[in-house]
């Protein structure tokens, strides 16, 4: 299904969005994998549909152990090759020597600096040479994701295609897919986590809170992005 056919068909399934995006990119496409339930679902869909999709991950140096457990489970189940990227060690050393281990909690500026070093710069290297990249973002996750499109041009990363196949899925639909297909999931979901990032910046959410309330919980909702998905 091409992009024109996709636009004519409403609503399109995540697998159809993924396939159309990969076809439109006309070159290598990779999933930016944080080993969330969303990302694992996309890997499972791609495998079932025979969609050729690379996978890369960023080891920020602050990920919880449970995240690595999911990575290993994916390698074993899907015979997956994961391309790992790391922050530049000299930048991490300078940050921690100069500002300590938790400077990101002192101000929004400091938090953006930490995310830039640990996530955004490695992402730029991961995207180099790609025609498109795939994310697990969902519109329901928060106010910062309300204006996304299922397939869009990422002008801040050289104009490559950015594919968001789960954009219109609710959390209930995601959980139903995960249960039906028995996909690997982080043990943290069973402890009340609903969005998982770096360990010091993630907590379980309370009843009635938004799924991303546990990310940078000391900040306002409109600031809860790390810079990977700038617009």
| Distance between CA atoms of residues 55 and 32, nearest Å | 6
> H helices then E strands: how many in the chain?
8, 6
Say whether 13 sits in a helix, a strand or coil: coil
How far apart CA 164 and CA 44 sit, in angstroms, is 15
* Rounded Cα distance, 127 and 106, in Å: 30
DSSP structural state of residue 219: S
Q: Which of 39, 126, 127 is nearest to 85 (CA)?
A: 126
At which residue do the structure tokens 């457990």 appear?
Answer: 69
Out of 33, 198, 201, 226, pick the active-site residue: 226
Q: For residue 158, give Cα distances in angstroms to 85, 131, 162, 172.
A: 19, 9, 11, 34
What phi and psi values does residue 8 have, to the nearest 5 degrees? Answer: -80, -20
Residues 202 and 64 sit within 8 Å (Cβ to Cβ) = yes
- CA 27, distance to chain mean position in Å, is 21
Residue 115 annotated to the active site: no
Q: What would the two tokens of residue 21 be?
A: 């995006």
Active site residues: 226
């Amino acid at each position: 299904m091409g992009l024109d056919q996709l636009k004519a068909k409403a609503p399109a399934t995540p697998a159809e969005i993924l396939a159309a995006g990969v076809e439109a990119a006309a070159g290598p496409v990779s999933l930016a994998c944080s080993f969330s339930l969303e990302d694992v679902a996309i890997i499972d869909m791609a495998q079932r549909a025979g969609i050729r999709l690379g996978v890369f991950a960023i080891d920020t140096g602050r990920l919880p152990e449970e995240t690595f457990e999911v990575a290993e489970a994916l390698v074993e189940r899907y015979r997956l090759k994961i391309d790992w990227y790391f922050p530049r060690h000299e930048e991490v050393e300078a940050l921690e020597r100069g500002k300590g281990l938790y400077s990101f909690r002192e101000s929004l500026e400091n938090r953006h600096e930490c995310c830039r070093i640990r996530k955004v710069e490695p992402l730029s290297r991961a995207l180099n040479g790609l025609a498109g990249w795939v994310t697990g973002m969902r519109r329901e996750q928060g106010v910062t994701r309300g204006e996304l499109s299922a397939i869009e041009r990422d002008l801040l990363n050289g104009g490559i295609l950015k594919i968001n196949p789960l954009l219109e899925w609710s959390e209930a639909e995601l959980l139903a897919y995960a249960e039906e297909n028995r996909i690997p999931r982080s043990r943290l979901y069973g402890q009340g986590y609903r969005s998982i990032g770096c360990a010091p910046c993630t907590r379980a959410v309370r009843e009635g809170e938004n799924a991303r309330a546990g990310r940078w919980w000391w900040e306002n909702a409109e600031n809860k992005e790390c810079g990977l998905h700038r617009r």
